[in-house]
Structure formats: structure tokens, C-alpha cells
Amino acid sequence: MWVIGGLVLVGVVWGSVNTILNNPYSRANWIDFVVFGLAQGCLYALIALGYTLVYGILRMINFAHGEVFMAGAFTGYFVAQPLYDNGLMASQPILALLIVSVVAMGTSIIVAYLLERICYRPLRNAPRLVPLITAIGASLFLQYTFAGFYGTGVKTYPNVPSLEGEWEIAGIGVLKTQVVVIVAATVLMTLLYLFVQYTKIGKAMRAVSEDKETAALMGINVDQTIVRTFVIGAALAGAAGVLYALLNKQVQFYMGFQPGLKAFTSAVLGGIGNIPGAMVGGIFLGLFESVGPSLFLEGWQIPAPYQLKDAIAFTMLVLILIFRPTGILGERLAKKKA
């Protein structure tokens, strides 16, 4: 087993060294890769938090979380477009984006609430496989519900006029949207961390994830806490949806699948159930994915390495699970799982 790990490591190092020696990219290219990776990683992290929060509390993979994200981003479009048309997006960009975010987060919250209520709550004591299948079913159902609502076409988010172009930060040109995404995601994650650590609701959430029965005995309303967990995860996913739209412009009913899978990978990478872990995992995955193909594969003379970025992400997932199954930061609740 370790032989495989060693071989992979040698391969990666060899590839990287070769790439660096040949140096096909300039310094600015590398910085672009890193910043893009950071922005992408922040999105993964925001979505991953939803997976991790729910996993921590229910020990289940909410496979439909990617669809919660999609619902928010897709619905947000129908607010963003009119706001752009009447000029508010140009004159009051912050207000406009806030309105879009509120709508997106609201939609995501409603979807997640219904999901918990209809699909998961009745199955709380079922064998583990059962809610997982339900989640897969819910994922399909939500995708095609929204395809039916809004159509199967791709919708293009309007540009925010004041966020076009680049900012000069420490002598490096960085796309404005990327900066906004990184800053907004960081703020949201900090808020979440403070919320979970210091508020009463956050403490209740942590208590329920430690031990449901005891938490109930201590006077915590378990059902309500679980709903709140879903709601918070969904709000983050909705916000991620708007940020995703800022970054990538295009939304459609199928958009939740890939980011959902990646976010889930991030959650596992960081150690599922672990909140800082999800953040670290997301950013790590984003960076790895954006820098990895050029760094590791270019040196091997592999054509079009960018096509393999998803393969790199999943390979890393597999390797981490095999060699360090509790993730980078470790699973907070590892003991209870066995």
C-alpha cells in the first residue's frame, strides 16, 4: 500500500520539478492560477460547510446539497436581471448584490427546509443506506423540478459594471470578481465559525452533534436544532450560488452537480463533520485543482493537462481517504463512528 503512495509522491515531485525546470509559464500565470484556485476553493468551502454541518449532526451525506446551491443561484438570476435592467446594479452595486443574495439564500433555505422535513426527518432512525438513497432521489427531483420551472437553457447573469476589470494588489493584477468572492466567502466563514462557537444556537448544534439523547435531556429541541443546521448550510450554499454566478456568469439546472461533488470532496478532505476542516479542505482542493494540472502533469509531457483537473481532484480524494481517512484536520467525531 505504501509503495503505491510512494510511487504517486515520486511521480508528483518528478512532474513538478520537470515543469519548474522547463518553466512554460510566467510568474503572472502562476499567480493567476493561485488566485483563481483560491476563489474557486472559497466557493467549494462555502458549499462544503453545508455537507459538513449536516454530516456532523446526522451522520448522513446530504447528497442533494449541490441542488440546494443550484436552486439559490438559479433563482437569483430572476432578480439580478431586472435589477440590471433598471440600473440599480450599476448605481448601487452593493445593495443590488445584497438583494440578489437574500433571494438566493431564501430560496436555498426553503428548499433545504422542505428537504429535511419531507425526505430526511421521517428516516432519522432508518439504516444509513436509506437516507442516502433518498438524498440521491431528492437530488434528481430537485434538478428536474427547477428545469421544469425555469427551463433547461443556460441563463447568463448580468455583469456588475463596477466589478469588471482588475484591481492592482501589491503589483499584481487580480480580477475584481475574484477578490469579491474571496473576501465575501472569508467573511461568511468567519461569521459561521463565530456563530457555531459562541452563540447559544451554535452551542446547541454542537451538543446535538455530540450526542442527541443527552442534548435532548439538557433541554435542547433536537428537531429544531437540526432544522437550523440545514437552514444555515443552505444559506451558505445560496450565498455561494451568487458568488459562483459572479465568477462564472452562467447558471442552469445542472450546475449543482459538479460543485456539489467537489464541495463534498472538500468536506471529506478536511475531515467530514469538522467545520474548519471544510474550509481548509475547500481552499486546498481549489488550489490543487487549479495549480495541479500544470504543475504535476505538464512535466510528464501530458497533452491538455487541464482536462485532467477533475481526475486530479478525485485521485487526491482517494489517496487521502486511503492514507489518512480522517481528512487533513481529522474528523472531530471519529470515535463515535465505529
Rank residues 124 and 187 by Cβ distance to other proteins and give the closer one. 124
Out of 22, 24, 144, 169, the residue judged to bind other proteins by CB under 8 A: 144
Out of 87, 148, 165, 173, the residue judged to bind other proteins by CB under 8 A: 148
Residues whose CB falls within 8 Å of the CB of residue 81, separated by 6 or more in sequence, listed in order: 157, 158
CB contact at 8 A, 287 and 37: yes
Q: What are φ and ψ of residue 155, in 5° steps?
A: -105, 140
Out of 142, 226, 235, 255, the residue judged to bind other proteins by CB under 8 A: 142
Out of 133, 183, 187, 194, the residue judged to bind other proteins by CB under 8 A: 133
CB contact at 8 A, 49 and 231: no
Residues whose CB falls within 8 Å of the CB of residue 106, separated by 6 or more in sequence, listed in order: 238
Pairing of strands 172-175, 250-251: unpaired
HSE (side-chain half, CA atoms, 13 Å) at 160: 25
**Per-residue x/- mask for other proteins, residues 233 to 272, rule CB under 8 A?**
----------------------------x--xx--x---x
d(CA 45, CA 108): 17
- Site for other proteins contains 7 (CB under 8 A): no
User: How far apart are CB 204 and other proteins at their closest, in Å?
Assistant: 22
- Give Dmax (Cα) for the chain: 64
- Site for other proteins contains 132 (CB under 8 A): yes
Q: What are φ and ψ of residue 174, in 5° steps?
A: -130, 135
- Site for other proteins contains 143 (CB under 8 A): yes
How many CB atoms are located within 10 Å of the residue 102 CB?
Answer: 16
Out of 29, 224, 311, 324, the residue judged to bind other proteins by CB under 8 A: 311
Touching other proteins, residues 93-112 (CB under 8 A): none
- Site for other proteins contains 125 (CB under 8 A): no
Nearest of 91, 36, 10, 71 to residue 240 by alpha carbon: 71
Binding span for other proteins by CB under 8 A among 179-187, 191-199, 274-282, 317-325: 317-325
Binding span for other proteins by CB under 8 A among 84-92, 179-187, 191-199, 303-311: 303-311
d(CA 286, CA 281): 8
> Which residues of the chain form contacts with other proteins (CB under 8 A)?
1, 4, 61, 78, 118-119, 122-123, 126-134, 136-145, 148-151, 261, 264-265, 268, 272, 302-305, 307-308, 310-311, 314-315, 317-318, 321-322, 325, 337
